[in-house]
Amino acid sequence: MKQLDKEFDAMPEGQGNGAGNVSSLLDGNIDIAAELKKFEAEERRRLGLEADKAPEQWYDEVPNTFTASQRAHTTVLVCGLTMAHDLFIQAALRGIGYNVKCMDVPDNAALQFGREFGNRGQCNPTYFTVGNLIKHLSNMHEQGMSKADIIENHVFVTAGACGPCRFGTYVTEYRKALRDAGFDGFRVLLFQQTGGLKQATGDEIGLKMDPQFFWGVVRAILIGDVLNALVYRIRPYEVEAGATDKALEAAKGFISDAFETSGSMLKALYKARKVLGAVEVDRTRTKPKVAIIGEFWAMTTEGDGNYGLQRFLEGEGAEVEIQIVAAWLLYMIWQSGYDTENRARLRGVDKGGPEGSKFSLEGVDVRKRLISLKAGEAVLRTLFQTVAHGLGLYDYHLPDMKEIAAISDAFYDNNLRGGEGHMEVGKLIQNIVKNKVNMTLSVKPFGCMPSSSVSDGVQSLITEMYPQGIFLPIETNGDGAVNVYSRVQMQLFKAKQQAGKEVEKALAETGQTMDEVQEYLRKHPRLSHAFHRSPHKAGCTTADLVHEVAAHRANRKLGRRLIGSAMGAYRHWRERQREGLRVIEVAKIAAAKAKAKASAKVAVRVVSDEERKDADGPQVPRGRTALNVIN
């Protein structure tokens, strides 16, 4: 004790000796609160902090002023969706008078920039997208442009939201990384999912959110979606390697020219349709169909952000089914409708204004809002199908958001938001129950909050309930591509076997050989056209084709064929209606089973420590009288 007193007394002024000694402290003879106050006063004096001066709050500047007068010398940077989308958005905005540049797809070099200048513990898409902007600006600086010029003459436009996941912090991340990388003051304009474009100055806005702007962006997104979906259908079956990519480049050129020069989009789509339709395909080569689902950015990007999965899968002999941006827009509309309906049923006061909620329905005509949302959805679906039929994408069904919500709610509550919300669960159930694909691959970014709980938690329950489904969640963190590829290859092997069995079964059921199917296709080239789509029967495209050829052979005579195809279309429509109801029923039964299992509550008495060690059953935590046994 004496030794401790000595050490305590030897400490510099203000750090111990002023507070008496350890013996007194231990004896309880010291007023600790008074000593701490004294110590604080001494420290404040030593650090030059005035006691009576009010602390200055830290404030983060938000540089986002972009005025119309700056438009002529300002380049708007965009990036974030697929290559086709980014290109068309660039062209659409150029067409209405902006200087726009779309940046490259984020790669591993961008990730390194993100890791160097971003905060710790972010999700992977944050690192990739934030790093991509820093990489782009750093490259411009390396090529000789001064940082002042870069800041003065460029703005970046990106999507943002107020949460609930890390998406809500993206814009803050951009500011931090830009500041640390030496681009303090660079403007990031936030295109909020729910609030339009944020603009600091009220007067003359640089980026005008007028109907012309929206029309351009919406068309760019829809055309990008259709082109992507079409190309992923054609490329796996191309006869001449590289023919689809060649046609795709030409198609992109026609469309972006039309956007940029305000030329005829109809003509451009027709020209694109012609080059894409000329690609020769052979759909008798069996390939497993693999759906890529998961976190929105990670499943959409076409670069290192998901290890280039789409191309990797195609290279391994699969047909890839991608998710499109229009589906995300439909989800946004569904969210808005769902929340409005639920909020309208509140019995208490739904106060708005500065003291209430920003989601308040006070003074809102709920009926009118719901009707506008329905009308918005109808317009979006009609526009999509118009572009789809114009380009040659037939029989493409946009997701039914109500059905997805109904089948997933019991497993992942519809009120849980962030990332893809319940959609990921609903898509997996649909894929398995409707036999839409042979394998589902979920891309889950490292550090993602919503996707981790879905893929890690809920989806394992879904796969337990539907063991026939082939499902693989993969985590993307920018490293370990070889590990990911090898895991994908292992599951793909099973999917290939499944696809092969489907084709064999289809041939056996219809009493044909593959040679006969090929012979029939040679005589009826319409069925081998790049845009042709066989009615859905199985997970893989070849099995669908075998069934279709069989149906055609059975209806060879013209009259019978016409009646047959009309009846076939009707049957197809009826089947789809029934299928939807069946999926909801199956999901309800599965959910009820899961609930019954999970709610087994075992009441136990409090046990002593000794008994606790000897207990046979599950260990009961101290102080608990009951234990929920979750199967």
- Which parts of this chain interact with ligand SF4 (CB under 6 A)? 123, 125, 165-167, 295, 297, 418-419, 445, 448-451
| Cα–Cα distance measured from residue 370 to residue 294, given in angstroms and rounded to the nearest whole number | 29
Report the nearest approach of ligand SF4 to the CB of residue 341 (Å).
25
Residue 164 and residue 417 in contact, taking contact as beta carbons nearer than 8 Å: yes
Cα 547 from chain centroid (whole Å): 34
CB neighbour list of residue 369: distance below 8 Å, 6 or more residues apart: 340
Of 125 and 216, the one with the shorter C-beta distance to ligand SF4 is 125
Q: Which long-range contacts (CB under 8 A, 24 or more apart) does 115-121 make?
A: 117/176, 117/177, 117/178, 117/180, 117/181, 118/173, 118/176, 118/177, 119/173, 119/176, 121/447
Report the nearest approach of ligand SF4 to the CB of residue 455 (Å).
11
What would the 3-class secondary structure string for 388-428 be? HHHHCCCCCCCCCHHHHHHHHCCCCCCCCCCCCCCHHHHHH
Report the nearest approach of ligand SF4 to the CB of residue 355 (Å).
30
Report the nearest approach of ligand SF4 to the CB of residue 489 (Å).
25
Q: Nearest Cα to 426, choosing from 257, 602, 580, 615?
A: 580
Three-state DSSP class for residue 465: helix
Sheet bearing 196-197, strands edge to edge: 99-102, 75-78, 154-160, 187-192, 196-197
Segments in 445-557 forming alpha helices (H) = 449-452, 459-465, 481-510, 514-523, 541-554
Of 288 and 418, the one with the shorter C-beta distance to ligand SF4 is 418
Of 305 and 469, the one with the shorter C-beta distance to ligand SF4 is 305
**How many CB atoms neighbour CB 410 within 10 A?**
17
Of 90 and 129, the one with the shorter C-beta distance to ligand SF4 is 129
Report the nearest approach of ligand SF4 to the CB of residue 124 (Å).
6
Of 225 and 295, the one with the shorter C-beta distance to ligand SF4 is 295
Peptide bond into 164 cis (omega under 30): yes
| Cα–Cα distance measured from residue 368 to residue 555, given in angstroms and rounded to the nearest whole number | 50
Of 151 and 448, the one with the shorter C-beta distance to ligand SF4 is 448
Report the nearest approach of ligand SF4 to the CB of residue 81 (Å).
14
Report the nearest approach of ligand SF4 to the CB of residue 80 (Å).
12
Of 80 and 224, the one with the shorter C-beta distance to ligand SF4 is 80
What are φ and ψ of residue 319, in 5° steps? -100, 130
Residue 256 and residue 88 in contact, taking contact as beta carbons nearer than 8 Å: yes
Of 165 and 265, the one with the shorter C-beta distance to ligand SF4 is 165
Of 297 and 331, the one with the shorter C-beta distance to ligand SF4 is 297
Report the nearest approach of ligand SF4 to the CB of residue 418 (Å).
6
* CA dihedral angle for residue 406, residue 412, residue 417, residue 419, rounded to 10 degrees: -100
Report the nearest approach of ligand SF4 to the CB of residue 181 (Å).
21
Report the nearest approach of ligand SF4 to the CB of residue 506 (Å).
39
Of 392 and 450, the one with the shorter C-beta distance to ligand SF4 is 450
Three-state DSSP class for residue 262: coil
